[in-house]
């Protein structure tokens, strides 16, 4: 059986590989590479693709999936903050653009109807390109990223009224009160049904899907909700991407959103690539070359006018000038829905063929320039802020933008994970938890910062803030998953301290090679606990048992966890065999209380070096021999592993285990 457009897809994929590699060597983003691939495949250049229409239909799914994932990344708090930018910022941007273009067209000698139509064409920006580039560069959570998203969402909402207005502006349709009320009622019913389903149905549905423990079922449910909402909004005359965005917002309320995102991302990327290629195919290369300089001039004028008209709509909301400049430049291109609007205008006579081809050429050139404009935005924003006499605040510095930093990520919430979370909470350490068992997530939802998801997926680790975390603790029982998580986490954050738990000693070497800093083998730890309890039943003195433990740990130190690292000494300890750094809190009944460092004999008798002493909020680095210890001091020690372990009772007093030290402020 022959599939007519399968040959076209194969040609597109093969050609895009070569173009993307070439653009990568020139340091051009993949978006530009896909657009160039489309230009090459298009009918006016190489003509290797016979039916671009089928490709464009498939590519529309990419835009829908992009908006779906954007909606999923919005929390309730973030969405609530976006209400004002969506309606005030988006409304002002659209109104200013339409009014300005209508005035320019009137001065040019055309009718006000054509002026409004041109205003609608110019007002639309490309959700697909802007949001894709911002995601790649990690800008979606910045003020400029949120402002851009808000205005783009409003533009998507207005696509349907614009399409309905085209025959009205062309004088081919009269809008009656009855038809307007019917359309408004349909839209209200649709939004009401979506809200009810989001509130009462989504979480229950996703819980049943996740309990099935089949990734295929989860993926089918995700795609079904995404495409189902897209079809619903399309049936009401709205855009496909708006429905997908609403589906993403619904699933964002679910506690299983992380698992949903990780499953759909590969499909989104493929369809998005096809979208950019389909846009490139629309470029008429001979026409563009014949009118090269006019198109170049119009492109420069378009970018300037579009950015200048967008700037007031974000400035009036009270955002810093730097963020406003970045937002304006990010939106200074033509949107993908403008092509649909332009085609409708050509059909109804609002556009002439020459104007239509010119508009297409300018549109595609502005899309190709978008990565460069977004990259130049921060620099131009800084310049504008300096010229205005204002210090440009950096994204992420405001209270609303602060995220977890220097925190602990706990993967797995079994017994070990719960104990670690409790210790972190009591020690004042910020932490997040990732767990695959949906029942556990439901049980602890609201009590702990817990999320459902697969930590071997890079996007899940990214959402947990792995790039800014200090420690990743992997306490799950799946050896393959532990290896995959270790590999991805080390790739995403080379400075991250990774502590992994495994069942067998034989797993320690491979995990260290993958990037784990410390590997704890249950097999060895169990053997320590077993012989300790056996010797206790035979009345062996506790000091002898501690000596056995210290010696066994020293002999097997390469396969054991290292003691807690402090400052840059963790690097030194990692390079010296059997050496480590440990933090001890001085108990009130410790014999060291009241003694000076010289009197304690820590170096001479116990072979330990005191690196620093913290008392309250004050830290004394490299303390002198006259420094006296006091109860509740936190002492940082450097020495051999067995010496550090043997000294614990000395600090605890009464033979009790040494109490954990809280992390220093900052």
Whether residue 595 sits in one domain with residue 515? no
Residue 441 domain-assigned (yes or no): yes
What would the pLDDT profile of 557-614 be if each residue is shown by its tens digit? Answer: 444 444 333 344 554 555 455 677 788 888 888 888 888 988 888 888 888 889 889 8
CATH of residue 494's domain is: 3.40.50.720
Whether residue 492 sits in one domain with residue 592? no
Residue 639's domain comprises 569-652
Residue 661 domain-assigned (yes or no): no
In sequence order, the β-bridge partners of residue 445 are: 448
Domain final residue, candidates 506, 531, 559? 559
| Burial zone of 290 (CB within 10 Å; 0-12 exposed, 13-18 middle, 19+ buried) | exposed
Residue 332 domain-assigned (yes or no): yes
Whether residue 608 sits in one domain with residue 516? no
Whether residue 462 sits in one domain with residue 324? no
Whether residue 543 sits in one domain with residue 575? no
Answer yes or no: are the C-beta atoms of 259 and 210 closer than 8 Å: yes
Whether residue 124 sits in one domain with residue 69? yes
Residue 398 domain-assigned (yes or no): no
106 Cβ contact partners less than 8 Å away, ≥ 6 residues apart: 112, 115
Whether residue 359 sits in one domain with residue 214? yes
Whether residue 588 sits in one domain with residue 509? no
Q: Is the pTM of this model over 0.85?
A: no
Radius of gyration of the chain (CA): 31
Q: Quote the pLDDT of residue 660.
A: 45
Whether residue 367 sits in one domain with residue 437? no
Domain final residue, candidates 559, 584, 613? 559
Residue 66 domain-assigned (yes or no): yes
Whether residue 516 sits in one domain with residue 434? yes
Residue 395 domain-assigned (yes or no): no
Of 134, 161, 132, give the one whose Cα is nearest residue 147: 134
Q: Quote the pLDDT of residue 299.
A: 92
CATH of residue 610's domain is: 3.30.70.1450
Residue 191 domain-assigned (yes or no): no
- List % helix, strand, coil for the chain (3-state, nearest 5): 65, 10, 30
User: Which residues of the chain carry a pLDDT beneath 70?
Assistant: 1-5, 49-63, 66-67, 69-70, 73-82, 138, 141, 160, 164, 172-177, 179-180, 183, 187, 237-239, 253-263, 265, 389-403, 438-439, 523-524, 553-578, 653-666
Whether residue 593 sits in one domain with residue 527? no
What would the pLDDT profile of 90-100 be if each residue is shown by its tens digit? Answer: 889 999 999 99
Domain final residue, candidates 526, 559, 592? 559
Of 264, 253, 263, 149, give the one whose Cα is nearest residue 194: 253
Domain count across the chain = 3
CATH of residue 259's domain is: 1.20.1530.20
| Burial zone of 54 (CB within 10 Å; 0-12 exposed, 13-18 middle, 19+ buried) | middle
Residue 403 domain-assigned (yes or no): no
In sequence order, the β-bridge partners of residue 395 are: none
In sequence order, the β-bridge partners of residue 228 are: none
According to DSSP, the β-strands at 431-435 and 450-452 are parallel
556 Cβ contact partners less than 8 Å away, ≥ 6 residues apart: 524
| Burial zone of 192 (CB within 10 Å; 0-12 exposed, 13-18 middle, 19+ buried) | exposed
Whether residue 106 sits in one domain with residue 250? yes
Q: Quote the pLDDT of residue 401.
A: 36
Distance CA 191, CA 246 (A): 9
Distance CA 605, CA 643 (A): 10
């Amino acid at each position: 059986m022959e599939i007519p457009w399968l040959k076209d897809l194969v040609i597109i994929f093969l050609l895009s590989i070569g173009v993307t590699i070439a653009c990568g060597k020139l340091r051009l983003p993949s978006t530009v590479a896909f657009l160039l691939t489309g230009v090459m495949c298009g009918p006016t250049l190489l003509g290797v693709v016979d039916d671009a229409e089928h490709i464009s239909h498939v590519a529309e799914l990419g835009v829908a999936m992009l908006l779906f994932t954007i909606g999923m990344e919005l929390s309730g708090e973030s969405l609530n903050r976006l209400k004002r930018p969506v309606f005030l910022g988006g409304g002002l941007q659209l109104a200013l653009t339409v009014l300005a273009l209508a005035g320019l067209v009137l001065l040019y000698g055309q009718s006000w109807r054509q002026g409004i139509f041109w205003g609608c064409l110019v007002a639309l920006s490309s959700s697909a390109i802007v949001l894709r580039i911002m995601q790649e560069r990690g800008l979606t959570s910045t003020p400029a990223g949120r402002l851009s998203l808000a205005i783009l969402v409003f533009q998507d909402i207005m696509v349907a009224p614009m399409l309905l207005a085209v025959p009205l502006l062309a004088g081919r349709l009269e809008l009656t009160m009855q038809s307007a009320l019917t359309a408004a009622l349909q839209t209200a019913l649709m939004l009401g049904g979506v809200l009810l389903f989001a509130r009462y149905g989504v979480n229950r549905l996703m819980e049943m899907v996740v309990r099935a423990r089949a990734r295929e079922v989860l993926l089918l449910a995700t795609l079904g909700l995404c495409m189902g909402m897209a079809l619903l909004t399309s049936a009401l005359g709205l855009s496909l991407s708006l429905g997908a965005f609403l589906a993403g917002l619904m699933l964002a309320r679910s506690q299983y959103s992380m698992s949903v995102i990780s499953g759909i991302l590969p499909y989104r990327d493929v369809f998005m690539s096809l979208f950019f290629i389909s846009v490139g195919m629309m470029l008429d290369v001979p026409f563009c070359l014949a009118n090269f300089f006019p198109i170049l001039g119009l492109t420069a004028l378009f970018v300037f006018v579009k950015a200048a008209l967008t700037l007031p709509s974000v400035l009036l909301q009270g955002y810093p000038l730097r963020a406003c400049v970045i937002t304006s430049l990010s939106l200074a291109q033509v949107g993908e829905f403008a092509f649909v609007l332009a085609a409708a205008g050509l059909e109804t006579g609002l556009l002439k063929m020459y104007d239509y081809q010119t508009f297409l050429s300018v549109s595609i050139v502005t899309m190709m320039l978008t990565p460069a404009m977004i990259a130049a935005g921060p620099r131009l924003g800084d310049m504008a802020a300096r010229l205005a006499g204002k210090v440009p605040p950096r994204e992420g510095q405001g209270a609303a933008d602060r995220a977890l930093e220097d925190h602990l990520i706990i993967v797995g919430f079994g017994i070990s994970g719960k104990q670690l979370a409790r210790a972190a909470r009591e020690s004042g350490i910020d932490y997040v938890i990732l767990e695959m068992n949906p029942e556990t997530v439901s049980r602890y939802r609201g009590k702990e910062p817990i999320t459902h998801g697969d930590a071997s997926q890079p996007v899940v680790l990214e959402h947990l803030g792995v790039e800014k975390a200090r420690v990743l603790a992997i306490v799950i029982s799946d050896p393959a998953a532990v290896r995959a998580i270790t590999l991805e986490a080390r790739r995403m954050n080379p400075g991250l301290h990774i502590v992994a738990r495994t069942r067998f000693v034989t797993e320690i070497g491979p995990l260290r090679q993958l990037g784990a800093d410390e590997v704890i083998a249950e097999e060895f730890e169990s053997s320590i606990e077993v012989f300790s309890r056996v010797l206790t039943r035979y009345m062996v003195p506790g000091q002898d048992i501690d000596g056995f433990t210290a010696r066994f740990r020293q002999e097997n130190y390469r396969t054991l966890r290292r003691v807690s690292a402090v400052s840059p000494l963790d690097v030194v300890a990692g390079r010296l065999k059997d050496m480590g750094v440990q933090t001890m809190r001085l108990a009130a009944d410790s014999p060291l209380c009241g003694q000076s460092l010289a009197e304690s004999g820590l170096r001479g008798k116990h072979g330990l070096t005191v690196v620093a002493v913290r008392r309250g909020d004050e830290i004394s680095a490299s303390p002198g021999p006259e420094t006296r210890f006091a109860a509740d001091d936190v002492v940082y020690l450097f020495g051999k592993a067995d010496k550090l372990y043997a000294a614990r009772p000395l600090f605890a007093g009464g033979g009790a285990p040494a109490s954990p030290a809280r992390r220093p402020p900052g």
